[in-house]
Amino acid sequence: MSEKPSVLVTGASTGIGAVYAERFAQRGHDLVLVARNVERLEALAARLRNETGVEVEVLPGDLTNERDVARIEQRLGEDRRIGVLVNNAGTSIPRGFLQQRNDDISKLIALNITAVTRLAHAAAPGFAERGEGAIINIASVVGLAPEMGATVYGATKAFVLFLSQGLNVELAPKGVYVQAVLPAATRTEIWDHTGVDVDTLAGVMEVGDLVDAALVGYDRRELVTIPPLPDADQWNALDVARQAMLPNFAQSLPAERYRSAA
């Protein structure tokens, strides 16, 4: 067993999650890998054990299933070896809001919001008690861009960003690091879920490049990491503008512009 904290990665069978598993294994961390596809998980685990010598446990689970979520929560709450949670599991759904089905929307919210929140909530108390640990939440630039048209998916990713910012306010003073990673278009299987041919898109980032950039942000202890954004000052300016509004929210009367019908 490694002396470094173990890392639990959700959605680890492919794409971003699989590369996070590989990178943390290369850094000498033992792993707990969560995903639905047991065959892929076992193949990845065997390869990483062979290549890096770390311990890799496969923990199959469907994070839209209540029993599976509860089982992963229990593991996060009880296993003190786990010191990093990579909340990566997520999906998207095809078509626009008017054409999407209620069942698909519910599953999207269950995976992209409910599971992310509950797993973070399961890990956080132990991390805070020990005064160390990290929660990495995979959000998306779509959460900043309603103009992109992925209304429900974008809303779930906006939630993940806000959740990460709020967790940082609560947990950073207790020694727990929280990072929100905001990819743009990345070459993963999520495009198969939306019916989009990724090869028709411009500016698609390879998964390895995305995760390596995110880990630079992780090592720097950034709260928000946006790998495709060339100018970090743009994000910083947005965040400064947001914070500048906060003192103005505490008003006993509506703003002057709302006191007249004109």
Q: What is the pLDDT of residues 164-205, one digit of tens each?
A: 999 999 999 999 999 999 999 888 776 566 667 777 777 789
pLDDT tens for residues 67-106? 999 999 999 999 999 999 999 999 999 889 999 999 999 9
Cα 72 to Cα 64: distance, rounded to the nearest angstrom: 12
Contact assessment for residue 49 and residue 22, using Cβ atoms and an 8 Å cutoff: no
- The percent of residues above 90 in pLDDT, for the chain, comes to 88
Please tell me which residue in 20, 153, 177, 218 is annotated as part of the active site.
Answer: 153
Average of per-residue pLDDT across 208-228 = 98
Measured torsion, CA atoms of residues 34, 36, 37, 39, in degrees rounded to the nearest 10: 60
The closest alpha carbon to 42, from 54, 58, 26, 62, belongs to 58
Domains of the chain: 6-232 (3.40.50.720)
**Local structure of 111: helix, strand or coil:** helix
pLDDT in the model for residue 194: 67
Q: For the residues of 8-49, what is the DSSP string, one character each?
A: EEESTTSHHHHHHHHHHHHTT--EEEEES-HHHHHHHHHHHH
Other Cβ atoms less than 10 A from the Cβ of 174: the count is 15
Q: Is 153 a catalytic residue?
A: yes
Contact assessment for residue 218 and residue 159, using Cβ atoms and an 8 Å cutoff: no
Cα 9 to Cα 21: distance, rounded to the nearest angstrom: 7
Task: State the pTM of this model.
Answer: 0.94
